[in-house]
Structure 1
């Protein structure tokens, strides 16, 4: 039986992701105040383009290299492990320089014809150096995840997010210019500076940890071409999947203002609505997803270890734990957002007009969290082709729904949430079908009775606090309800872990 370090490493990574999520959340608050809702909308239109090129440069490499290094690390085959990192570095460097050059050449075209806002040209140029930095950093992250040294990239992520926030505040104060073009450009310059710091620190700690892997078993050394082929075989389907889904996601984001205009909203108002819906409400609702990200990051190398040791019973138990925990995290988060949407909007963004968006998006949380972890499970058991097909189907469906729903005046921006909800349900159903073919599983009412009761109790107590504790101010009520919610989640997690061990 594999030593159960999964929860220990997940806890470490969750603490890191909590820190980065808080910094990211504070960053979004700073952005909302520095950029305004219109500037935040323009920022949101540029980010998908950056994500698309990041995916083209290094999509699948973190996952693929973490699986490869986990395989060699468990065998103490350090020679092939280090060769995997080196050959991946050279490949990503060459490929990254090529793609970054193409991106620079395409910036004017992207700004004018794709984003269709000439103010985006300077932010696009500002973010271009980050592409090559992300490509190289992804390899070191894959190395650390595969060798179960999750603390290093976790702590570095915290420093990166902190630098980004400090940089944007300092630059905004030094150069007193408040135009949207300038503020959005400064925001993306801060992102590039953060990626530079991340790369430098990851490289330094990689060099330090590499020296500790000098001794290991004597094994048959694989050629560089064979190792690269093995990595790319796993990475390319993930890259294609990420590229297609990111392209569709980018297209979805870019059509938002155009379809909203057809619903009778001006372009400026459309950017403002997008900023409030996706830049503010969505950030609040999906803030706890850092916990799911921790599970998903570690689940793929964890599954590789179970398969290598032929411990299928242990693997099945782990997968059920992750799926149940993901679902109930979404339930607790949904309860909090539905009970105190006004309070969350006021405390974090000083706005009362995003409360309806928070409530509407909160319904997505349980199924979105569950769907996200099923993609990692499929990747871990080697069904990358199914990941590609399923995510492509759900992404196309989301684009079609957005195209139809956003232009309806009675629905407008709410079509974004409807499309997200339906596509995530379809994703989960398709993913679970293939997971269930790999191993038979079932979720009984008896097993889920206690977690469901905890959720119900949490909901009722939260409503009582909101409605009857008149002696408490808004901040105090919010803090108490959030603590209650996540205390409930801890009890649920402990119960699930104990029940399935």
Structure 2
């Protein structure tokens, strides 16, 4: 547990600094791109994240889980097979992307170089994922923390220098914004691969044992494929969400330009502020996947119950404090981006979405570690269908507009958090009131204390 707390602290501390930098990044983007340009930037981000997801093939999750569950003498063999899988998968994906990406309609709205920038991400993200998964599995969160912080610093420095000393028209300014995002990922790739090579040289000098190639690949794919499917569905819905929201707003009577501007203020301002405390939730997610996987493989249910209890209390503590601040100081916070009351209202109305999202992220780590990816996927499908349905129904009505969109988003977040929590409690024998139950009588004596 000491390693667990230390890892959370490292990741949370670096993520806090990173989120502070992200806040500055979004302020620069808002001022340089304007409301319409920021709307375009936020509209293409889900598509970029979708490609990033495909490139990672969720190897950080599967490798970290497998590494945490196996003895150290098997790690060299696991990494050999993981690298082989990555080379094959990346080659296929890059060839497919070369053919498909130039014809994706959304890229026609942006500078021609954008699609080539995005294609560069495929090999970068794929090989970074192997290193990231290994360091996560070994609980070497310091390297993960440095890489996350480095990404934000490079992006901020690039934006500040380029926009401070050079002038761009709206199209090229948008290209610069996307280019600095891609460039920051390349810097992270160079750092993590360098650290991974050093670590791998040490592993090669230690005694090792081989695992059956088919068994290793089966174990990695057993996590990567369903987790990728789950993340792919989420990324796809996030990529579609801008069009769903803007279509609903246009149907409610707004012009397309106004709908784009409102979406830009929703995602670029309200969401940027509201997700600021999510660095704690994300840190918990990264640390919990290997920790829960290890405890579950040992059938150590008291430890799982204790971790869940601690996570819920910590999330409630910082989550309530955060949304309270957002609600009462919304005008002051949003004025850092735009001198408009609209994003402040969005931020206040979205407090349930943010609060329950803080719970969702660590609970997804529990679902993955407990081998309940299928159940998590079903939960996401249900919550998304209901959320999108409400967005289209209420958001397209003139008397509701963006308020209806926000109601749909809030409902989806609350529903997903509740389904995750009830399922986890049932799996580990944990009552809703946070008391351990049935598993203790089935455990060996050394695990009951």
The verdict on how the C-alpha distance between 1:99 and 1:325 changes in structure 2, with shifts beyond 3 A counting, is: farther
The verdict on how the C-alpha distance between 1:294 and 1:101 changes in structure 2, with shifts beyond 3 A counting, is: same
CA offset digits 1:417-441 (Å, max 9, x no partner): 2112111222122222321221222
CA offset digits 1:271-324 (Å, max 9, x no partner): 111111111011111100000000011101001221233322112111221122
Would the aligned equivalents of 1:71 and 1:305 in 2 still touch at CA under 8 Å?
yes
Counterpart in the other structure of 2:94: 97
> Is 1:345 aligned to residue 334 of structure 2?
yes
* SS of the residue 1:261 aligns to: helix
Gaps of 5+ in 1: 113-117, 447-500
CA offset digits 1:336-395 (Å, max 9, x no partner): 111211221234555444221111112322222112222221111001111111111111
How far apart, in 1, do the equivalents of 2:309 and 2:205 lie?
Answer: 37
Counterpart in the other structure of 1:204: 194
Counterpart in the other structure of 1:56: 54
> Is 1:168 aligned to residue 159 of structure 2?
yes
Q: Structure 2 residue aligned with 1:151, among 139, 142, 152?
A: 142
Counterpart in the other structure of 1:5: 3
In the TM superposition, what is the alpha-carbon distance from 1:190 to its structure 2 partner? 0.8
Counterpart in the other structure of 1:110: 106
The verdict on how the C-alpha distance between 1:383 and 1:363 changes in structure 2, with shifts beyond 3 A counting, is: closer
Counterpart in the other structure of 1:369: 358
Q: How do 1:193-342 and structure 2 match up within 5 A?
A: 193-219=183-209, 221-342=210-331
Would the aligned equivalents of 2:422 and 2:432 in 1 still touch at CA under 8 Å?
no
How far apart, in 2, do the equivalents of 1:183 and 1:97 lie?
Answer: 27
In the TM superposition, what is the alpha-carbon distance from 1:217 to its structure 2 partner? 4.9
The verdict on how the C-alpha distance between 1:174 and 1:88 changes in structure 2, with shifts beyond 3 A counting, is: farther
Would the aligned equivalents of 1:59 and 1:243 in 2 still touch at CA under 8 Å?
no
In the TM superposition, what is the alpha-carbon distance from 1:237 to its structure 2 partner? 0.3
In the TM superposition, what is the alpha-carbon distance from 1:34 to its structure 2 partner? 0.7
How far apart, in 2, do the equivalents of 1:84 and 1:329 lie?
Answer: 41
How far apart, in 1, do the equivalents of 2:177 and 2:242 lie?
Answer: 19
Q: Structure 1 residue aligned with 2:23, among 12, 25, 36?
A: 25
* SS of the residue 1:177 aligns to: coil
Counterpart in the other structure of 1:79: 76
How far apart, in 1, do the equivalents of 2:242 and 2:236 lie?
Answer: 10
Larger mean Cα displacement after TM superposition, 256-265 or 235-244? 256-265
Q: Structure 1 residue aligned with 2:392, among 390, 394, 403?
A: 403
In the TM superposition, what is the alpha-carbon distance from 1:36 to its structure 2 partner? 0.8
> Is 1:419 aligned to residue 408 of structure 2?
yes
* SS of the residue 1:363 aligns to: helix
Would the aligned equivalents of 1:67 and 1:300 in 2 still touch at CA under 8 Å?
yes
How far apart, in 1, do the equivalents of 2:423 and 2:352 lie?
Answer: 25
The verdict on how the C-alpha distance between 1:227 and 1:94 changes in structure 2, with shifts beyond 3 A counting, is: farther
Counterpart in the other structure of 2:445: none
How far apart, in 2, do the equivalents of 1:410 and 1:161 lie?
Answer: 40
* SS of the residue 2:396 aligns to: coil
Count of equivalent residues:
437
In the TM superposition, what is the alpha-carbon distance from 1:444 to its structure 2 partner? 4.2
The verdict on how the C-alpha distance between 1:349 and 1:249 changes in structure 2, with shifts beyond 3 A counting, is: same
The verdict on how the C-alpha distance between 1:63 and 1:309 changes in structure 2, with shifts beyond 3 A counting, is: same
Gaps of 5+ in 2: 436-448
CA offset digits 1:133-184 (Å, max 9, x no partner): 12221221111101111111211222222111222233334542232x2211
Would the aligned equivalents of 2:55 and 2:90 in 1 still touch at CA under 8 Å?
no
In the TM superposition, what is the alpha-carbon distance from 1:75 to its structure 2 partner? 4.1
Would the aligned equivalents of 1:126 and 1:185 in 2 still touch at CA under 8 Å?
no
How far apart, in 1, do the equivalents of 2:96 and 2:49 lie?
Answer: 13
